[in-house]
Amino acid sequence: MAAIFYRARKGVQWRYIPPMFGSKSTLHRRFQEWVDARVFDKIEKEALKLYERSIKIRTKRMAGDGSQIRAL
């Protein structure tokens, strides 16, 4: 999970993730397995439930921005 967050924060390709996170092919394979199992969709759904409870408002729609821009 730390490698996935690292990749998301830095906007790097799998091959540029530091070796301390493990094998690049294993990281990518595990990520694909999680995508296929809809793990991130489930996390998003649970996070939305927690958010709705915290603000005491039920949201009908929610938008997220998945774009990545490299810092200069």
Is residue 22 assigned to a domain? yes
Confidence of residue 64 (pLDDT cuts 50, 70, 90): low
The CA-based dihedral angle spanning residues 70, 26, 15, 72, taken in that order and rounded to the nearest 10 degrees:
10
Total structural domains within the chain: 1
Confidence of residue 69 (pLDDT cuts 50, 70, 90): low
Is residue 68 assigned to a domain? no
Predicted pLDDT at 18: 95
Is residue 14 assigned to a domain? yes
Is residue 21 assigned to a domain? yes
Is residue 19 assigned to a domain? yes
Taking the whole predicted model, whether its pTM rises above 0.85 is answered as no
Contacts of 51 (CB under 8 A, 6+ apart): 59
Boundaries of domain holding 22? 2-55
9 vs 70: CA distance, rounded Å: 10
